[in-house]
Structure 1
Amino acid sequence: MSAETGARRVDGEHPRTEMIVDPRFLPVADRFFKMFRDTRNGGGALAAYLHGEPVLDIWAGWASRDKRWTHDTVALSFSTGKGVASTVLHRLAERGLVDYDEPVATYWPEFGAAGKESITVRELMSHRAGLHRARGLVPGRFGLLDSDAVASALAAASPDPRRLAGPGYHAVTYGNLVAEIAIRVTGLSFTELVEQEIAGPLGLREFWFHVPQDERHRIARVFPRLNPTPAPWAVTGTVLSRLPGLRGVAEAGMAEGFDELARSPAAHDAVMPGWNGVFTARALARMYGALANGGELDGARLLKEETLEQVLEVQTRRRDYVLGIRPNWRLGYHPGWVALREQPLQSIGHFGFGGSGAFADPETGLSIAFVTNRLGSVTPISDMRFPRLGAAGVVVARRAA
C-alpha cells in the first residue's frame, strides 16, 4: 500500500494495481481493513475522492473462499445501482430529452394505463408512482430477468393509492422504470446508455448491469443467503406480506425466487438497474466524485451545476410506506446516511441491500463508495458498515475544508 497525496489520478484505461491512501484518510483506511480479517468476513473495497482528487482506493479480504479480493474485483451491489441509473436519466434531461414535470406517458404511452396518465417523471424518481410491487409482478421464479415483460407489467399495473399520501420505495422496480424511459427517448439499449453517459465520460468500465461474459470471473461471490429467517424464502415472503408493518417490504423486495436469482449467474445476463448493478468502489466513487465537485471531474462534465441544484432538492419529506421512515427522497437518490449526529444534509447517493453504497457530499467535496460480497443486515437498504465508514470520511473531509 502506498500513502500518497490526492494528486495522482486513477487512470481509467489501466486501473492502478497499488492502493491509494491520502495520509489524512488513514483513520478511514484503518477502520476498513479491520473489517476483513478472515474468510467469514468476505471482502470489499473502499474508494473516495476529495475535491476531484482520489484520496482512497483500497481493498481487502476474500472474493470467494479461495480467492483474495484484488484491485479489479467487482461486486453485485444491489440498490447502489439506482444512483447510477438515475444519473443516466439526469444526463438525458439536460439535453431536453426528458422533462421532470412531464407525465411518464409522454415518453412511454403504454404507461398511461390503469390511472397512471398523470404520474410525472419527478414523482417516479422520488418513489411516488405507486409501483413498488415486485412480488407477483411477472410469472416464474426468474421472471424478473425479462426486462420487456417487467416493463409491460409495470405499464399495465394500477398504482397503489398510498402514493397520494407519501412515497413507497420501489426496491426492485425503480430501475426498470427509469431504464424504460431512457430507452424510449433515445432508442438505445440501457447498456449502451450507461456506456455512453457514465462509463465513457468517466473513463472507467465497471458500471455494469449486464456483465460482459469475459469479465464475469472478476465478480466476488455473494454470501450468505438473503433470507432473513430460517423458513424458506417463499414462506417468509408470504408471512411478511400479511403483517401490516412489513407488508410493503415483502411486496417491494421479496418476489418469488429472488433469493436464488440474486445468487445466480443468470442475474448478470439481464439489465435490472434497480438491483443487479456490478461495480468497483473506484468507479462509484469517481461518478459521485464528479457530483461532489460541481458536476465535473478531470475535465469531464457529468452534470451541469443547475442540474445538480435540482438533484439536491428534497422532493418529499413524508413517511415512506414501504420503508417506514422518512428518506427525504431526491430525484433518484437519498442523502448519504452516516453514523454522525451532524448529517451531511446536502449529500446525495444510494445504499444497497446488505451493505454497499456510495454518496457525494458537495458541501465538503467528498465522495465515498463501498462494495462488498459479505451481506450484512437484511434491512432493505444497508447495514452499519458503510454508514460508519462514511462517517469517518465525512469527519476527515470537514477537517480538511
Structure 2
Amino acid sequence: MNALLEDLTWRGLLANSTDPRALEAQLDEGPVTFYVGFDPTGPSLHIGHLVQLLTARRLQAAGHRPLILVGGATGLIGDPKASGERVMNSKEVVAGWVSRLREQSSQFVSFEGENAARMVNNLDWASSISAIDFLRDIGKYFPVNRMLDREIVKSRLESGISFTEFSYVLLQSMDYLELFRRYGCRLQTGGSDQWGNITAGVELVRRASGEHVHALATPLLLKSDGTKFGKTEGGGVWLDPAMTSAYALHQFFLNAEDSKVIEYLKAMSFRSREEIMDLEQQTLSSPHRRAAQHALADDVTDLVHGEIARRHAEEAARAVFGSAELARLDEPTLAAVMAEIKAVEIDPTDGHGPAVVSALVASGVVASKSAARRAIEEGGAYLNNVKVTDIDQTIEPEDLLAGRYAVLRRGKHTIGAVRVNR
C-alpha cells in the first residue's frame, strides 16, 4: 500500500474513499493537488476542523499540494442540518468570518516550497455565474431523484426544507469542478459526515469533463458514549483563543477518556508510531499517570496556540492545584482560568470582603456553610493555595488576584473560584 495511505489507515483517518486502488495509483504517480473546504458558519474553526487541517498537513508532508477553501459562497447558504433550517447570516458577517477562518487555517499548512498551499474562496467564482448559467452548466447534471434520496434531505422532507438548502450540494460540487479546471485538483478530503456532498462533487467532475477524480473521508471522532468529541457543556472547543483559551484547550485534552485517547493521539498528533504505541502501553499499565493524555494535550495545544501559550497553561494548572504561585499568572491567563473554573460573582458584606465560608459554598467547592466550616476545622480548605485556619476569615482586597479573583480549594482536587464585586 502507498505509504501515505498506509499511515492514514493506521491512524484511523481513512473512513471512505471513492476508489482505493485508483487513488493509490494516483498518489504514486507524483504530487497530487487536493482540497479541503470549510464553510464560515461561525467566527471560528473547531476541533473537528482541526482533524481535517492536520490531515491536509500530512498529505502536504508527503509531497502533495493543498488548496484550502473557505466557503464565502457556500457559507451564505449553509449545508442542510437535521435540526432544521439554518439562520441566514448577512453578507458582511460571513465576509468577516471568511477572513478569520482563512487566518486560522493558514497556520497548519505551509505556503512555501514546491508544494506550497494555496488559499481559495468559492465566492470568487460563484459570484460571477448567473442563475441561468448555474442551472444550465451545473444543475443539469443533478437528477432530482438522487438528491431526494440523500439522507439529510429525506430527514427534512416532513418538517420542510427550503430550495436554498436543498440546492447546497450543487454549489459545493461546483467547487470541485472549478478547482479541477483551475488547478488540476484531483482529490477532495473531508469528514465522513460530508461524504454525500464530496461524492457529488466527484460525480459532477466526471459528468462535466469525463475525468475521474478522487475523494477520501476521515471518520468523526467520537467519545465512548457515541457523542461527538469536541463538544462540552459550554459548547464547542474552538481554535480561536478568545473562544477557547490555551488553558481550556489543554485541560480539555487532559480529560480525554483512557479508552479513546490513543485514537485521538493518532489523529491529531505527529508523534511516530513507536511513540504512540509506547503511550498506549503506558495507558494500559499505568493509567493513573495519564501519559497519553499529557502528550495529546501538549501536542494539540502546541499546534493550535504555540509552545509558549501551552507552557503558560501548564503553569496555570499547577498554580490552581497548589503546585505553583497563583500570583505569578498574568491577567489574560488568570482570566482564562477563571472562565474555565466558572468563577461566580459574589458581593462584599457589612463593609468587609465576603466570608471565606460563603465563598466556598458559592463557588461550589462545598455544599453548605456547615460543610465549609468543617473543611476549615479539618485543615482542608484553601484560599489562593493558603490554608484557611479561621472560620470567620474574610476575603479582603489584598487577597484578590488581579484585584478581583479568589481561588477556593478543598483538599487536592476540588476547585472553585469567585469574582468579588467592588
Q: Which has the larger radius of gyration?
A: 2
TM-score for both structures, normalised by structure 2: 0.26
- More contact order relative to length (CA 8 Å, sep ≥ 6): 1
Specify which structure has the higher proportion of helix: 2
Normalised to the residue count of structure 1, the TM-score between the two structures is 0.27
